[in-house]
A and B are shown apart, each in its own frame.
Chain A
Amino acid sequence: MDNEVLLKIEGLRIEGRSGDEWSEIVKGVDLTLRKGEVLGLIGESGAGKSTVGLAAMGFARDGCRISGGTIEFDGIDLRVTPEATRRDLRGKRIAYVAQSAAASFNPAHKLIDQYCEAPVMHGVMPRDQAERDAIDLYRRMQLPDPEEIGFRYPHQVSGGQLQRAMTAMAMACRPDLIIFDEPTTALDVTTQIEVLAAIRDVVRQFDTAAIYITHDLAVVAQAADRIKVLLRGEEVETAETYKMLEAPKEDYTKSLWAVRSFTREEQPPGEGTPVVSVRNVTAAYGMVNVLEDVSFDIHAGRTVAVVGESGSGKSTTARVITGLLPPKSGEVLFDGEPLPPALKGRSREQLRQCQMIYQMADTALNPKLTLRQLIGRPAQMYLGLDGTALEDRVRELLDLIELDPAVYIDRLPGELSGGQKQRIGIARALAAEPKLIICDEVTSALDQIVQEGILKLLNKLQEDFGLAYMFITHDLATVRAIADEVVVMQQGRVIEKGTKSEMFAPPHEPYTDLLLSSVPEMDPDWLTCLLEKRAAAGG
């Protein structure tokens, strides 16, 4: 009975509308899922993973339409069956867990009311039984205070907890199939682990089949029996998780590993006067201290990675260094000289020395200026270039970031891809000829292949110009690839700092340990081992 096919999709085609034209976004995908099996669906943004996931429920978002193929769920063709049948299946036999639980719970109703809706309306069980059942599931999902938490409104519950409550809600009718659409992407690494473990346990306990959609191979490896890789609406390859990890067949699949394979050799600790030196900085928004006694140095030609989860104070530290947030106490030295605390007090020369690259290249580049204006402005302003000298410099910078000046110089940012935009951000920083560049999560909004390109470029530029980098990130894989030294932050304090080799070898502070161990690894047994280890350590 284990091999009985639950879902069979053949030749699925889906079109999306832009303006008055329809274009194909899913181009003939096949998919087979057996009862109790978990299939990982991975791919980069725009690969059509979510669209395929929703199609498994016979559903297409507004502006999309299913234009070809068959979707057969337990012998029912979802494309031809009446809407009433589809509606009866949804929530009852096929359930959905959305990426952002905070947005997908209705803000007007309590969690448990939303839980009970599907079982009661589909006539699976009466309300009081559904409530008891909800509390039981909340407990299994290891939600705190399972008796009470259901009687709260969504805004009163944290993101990680909401995501688990949503999984519980999906389980309400004990469906045969659950679609998980990036359920842990929006969460911090330490929270991600908890949610991932809870999801995996519940799915196994009830022998539910699942489609697990994500862009993170390491995450899906923990939960899926099989993995299917999608690229631009087409299948690249499908294999058992073990096989896929050991021996990916296609070049594209291999390239998904690439960022992890790029590693820069660790440089010896810098000597002499550091380029920038943060000394005992305490800073506050209003009355609340967001940084407490933060100190670290960055030397020329070195990369210091500042890591921590959201709210740890990484970006605030950057704001103090750039002068956007004058500290309450402590100071920032640049080449040994104290910097005026506020932006307004700094000279143009001081501003030039320290440049910044942002996480979202989309919002960091003025959409109404051409690349010539964007990159040329710092050179014109700080170095007094104009006319042909400016033109030559802009072309030179475009060459440096590996974009053809002849093609791109008069383009607007809107005409570039995400990775290209980020390169423009780098060129703009370089144009000032700075000593220090602060990179704020510069790769985290990008697909993995593109990330690798950016990291390689940054590395090359560092070697060529002896730049110092402050590299803010939450992604430890990136740290491993590019850092010389690491500063770990939590709740506004520096927990630990040292060279990369020190940081990735025990012993650590407990929080560093938690952070390091929470990063999913490309090993299907990693989560199981980790949980066992933690359970053993916890007694």
Chain B
Amino acid sequence: MILTRIAIGIGLLFIVSVVIFGATELLPGDLATQLLGQSATPETVAALREQLGLNDPAAMRYWNWLTGALSGDFGVSLANNRPISELISARLGNTLFLALYAAALAVPISLILGVLAALWRNTVFDRVANAGALSAISFPEFFVAYILILWLAQTGLFPSMVRINPTTTFVDRIYMSFLPALTLTLVVTAHMMRMTRAAIINLMASPYIEMARLKGMSPLRIVLRHALPNALAPIINVIALNLAYLITGVVVVEVVFVYPGLGQLMVDSVSNRDIAVVQAVALIFAAAYVALNLLADVLSTITNPRLMHRR
């Protein structure tokens, strides 16, 4: 059961890699000409074609790219000829750090707020939390980021630019990355809170919760013993979905705070039309996204007795 899900996940990842690679084939005309512009001489175009391996059939180029990517070799950047793996390695760690940092803040806060809003449904707390969350969802990430800068960085409390080098200590990192992490947290928390609230409300309306109440169980026991085990699957999905959302959010936030992560790299490469780097970074982001969804799928399977104990 779980093995099939993992197999499906790997299959999906394979298809994703085909899509990411195949997207370049959609290009009208020749990639090398496109990249160099109309004024390029035939010699430079031919040289670039050679460098990109464009003379090989597509299937073969895909195979070389995929096997290379799996062993950590993404080829070289078209913009500066440096190995892509070198460009990525340090930044990948930074981005992961930022995403985990934001997740560590967002997950507990949003779960608690979501459960409280569900339990105190239609109270003032619920309405305010809901309207607040709805507004936060509607804000562009850069709006939130700049408000935080204006409010917290102007007063000198936190730095508005993140400069990380190998000697930066962990505590310093936490301090310097606080604003980007807080921005991501605010955006993701709103989503997660609303979804948690909806999942719990949906659950509390089910007949077995009424049955538990009619068996004279205390409200605390109803929530912990009757609602929570059934809420696990939806909550896991909510978390996974939002962690996956963090991946997207990270791009904009990194640019605002000049944070040396993968998102920055990707945006720079898109402006330079450095397709090799964009493909590599897109593959990493997509892999993380697929892996998160897969993990959520497996976890919710494990927590669901209907799927674990067949008839």
* Residues of A bordering B, CB below 8 Å: 54, 57, 59, 61-62, 86-92, 95-96, 98, 100, 103-109, 117-118, 121-122, 152-153, 155-156
Q: Is the interface of B mostly helix, strand, loop or mixed?
A: helix
**Across the interface, which residues of B come within 8 angstroms of A104, CB to CB?**
207-208, 210-211
**Across the interface, which residues of B come within 8 angstroms of A87, CB to CB?**
216-218
B215 touches A90 (CB 8 A): yes
A117 touches B217 (CB 8 A): yes
CB distance from B310 to the nearest CB of A (A): 8
Assembled-state Cα–Cα distance A46/B129 (Å): 37
Assembled-state Cα–Cα distance A242/B232 (Å): 52
A92 touches B306 (CB 8 A): no
Interface residue B213 (Cβ < 8 Å from any Cβ of A): yes
Given A61-B210, A156-B311 in contact, is the A109-B229 Cβ separation under 8 Å? yes
Given A59, A105, A156, which contacts B214 in the complex, CB threshold below 8 Å?
A: A59
Mark each residue of chain B from 242 to 274: 1 if its CB lies under 8 Å from any CB of chain A, else 0. Answer: 000000000000000000000000000000000
Assembled-state Cα–Cα distance A44/B212 (Å): 27
Assembled-state Cα–Cα distance A86/B210 (Å): 15
A108 touches B230 (CB 8 A): yes
Assembled-state Cα–Cα distance A92/B214 (Å): 10
B214 touches A96 (CB 8 A): yes
**Across the interface, which residues of A come within 8 angstroms of B217, CB to CB?**
87, 91, 117, 121
**Across the interface, which residues of B come within 8 angstroms of A108, CB to CB?**
226, 229-230, 305
CB distance from B204 to the nearest CB of A (A): 9
Assembled-state Cα–Cα distance A122/B226 (Å): 17
Given contacts A61-B210, A89-B216, A107-B306, 8 further A-B contacts (CB under 8 A): A59-B213, A90-B213, A90-B215, A103-B208, A106-B229, A155-B309, A156-B310, A156-B311
Interface residue B206 (Cβ < 8 Å from any Cβ of A): yes
Enumerate B221-250 residues with CB–CB distance to A below 8 Å.
221, 225-226, 229-230
Can you name the residue of chain A whose Cβ is closest to the Cβ of B229?
A108
CB distance from B216 to the nearest CB of A (A): 3
**Across the interface, which residues of B come within 8 angstroms of A86, CB to CB?**
216
Instruction: Indicate the size class of the contact surface on chain B.
Output: 20 to 34
**Across the interface, which residues of B come within 8 angstroms of A106, CB to CB?**
208, 211-212, 226, 229-230
B230 touches A107 (CB 8 A): yes
**Across the interface, which residues of A come within 8 angstroms of B206, CB to CB?**
103
B216 touches A96 (CB 8 A): no
A-B contact pairs, 20 of them (CB 8 A): A59-B213, A59-B214, A88-B216, A90-B216, A91-B217, A92-B216, A95-B215, A96-B215, A98-B210, A103-B207, A104-B207, A104-B211, A105-B208, A105-B211, A106-B212, A107-B305, A109-B229, A117-B225, A155-B306, A156-B310
**Across the interface, which residues of B come within 8 angstroms of A153, CB to CB?**
305-306, 309
* Residues of B bordering A, CB below 8 Å: 205-208, 210-218, 221, 225-226, 229-230, 305-306, 309-311
**Across the interface, which residues of B come within 8 angstroms of A62, CB to CB?**
205
Given A96-B211, A98-B211, A103-B208 in contact, is the A155-B216 Cβ separation under 8 Å? no
**Across the interface, which residues of A come within 8 angstroms of B205, CB to CB?**
62
CB distance from A177 to the nearest CB of B (A): 12
Assembled-state Cα–Cα distance A103/B215 (Å): 15
Can you name the residue of chain A whose Cβ is closest to the Cβ of B311?
A156
Q: Which of B208, B225, B229 counts the most chain A CB atoms within 10 A? A: B208
Assembled-state Cα–Cα distance A54/B208 (Å): 15
Can you name the residue of chain B whose Cβ is closest to the Cβ of A99?
B207
Assembled-state Cα–Cα distance A57/B311 (Å): 35
Assembled-state Cα–Cα distance A88/B214 (Å): 10
**Across the interface, which residues of B come within 8 angstroms of A109, CB to CB?**
229
CB distance from B233 to the nearest CB of A (A): 10
CB distance from A92 to the nearest CB of B (A): 6
A118 touches B215 (CB 8 A): yes
**Across the interface, which residues of A come within 8 angstroms of B309, CB to CB?**
152-153, 155-156
B207 touches A100 (CB 8 A): yes
B226 touches A91 (CB 8 A): no
Can you name the residue of chain A whose Cβ is closest to the Cβ of B231?
A108
Can you name the residue of chain A whose Cβ is closest to the Cβ of B209?
A106
Assembled-state Cα–Cα distance A424/B232 (Å): 45
Can you name the residue of chain B whose Cβ is closest to the Cβ of A102?
B207
**Across the interface, which residues of A come within 8 angstroms of B215, CB to CB?**
90-91, 95-96, 117-118
A90 touches B207 (CB 8 A): no
B230 touches A91 (CB 8 A): no
Assembled-state Cα–Cα distance A104/B208 (Å): 4
Assembled-state Cα–Cα distance A90/B218 (Å): 11
Assembled-state Cα–Cα distance A88/B218 (Å): 9
Assembled-state Cα–Cα distance A174/B213 (Å): 18
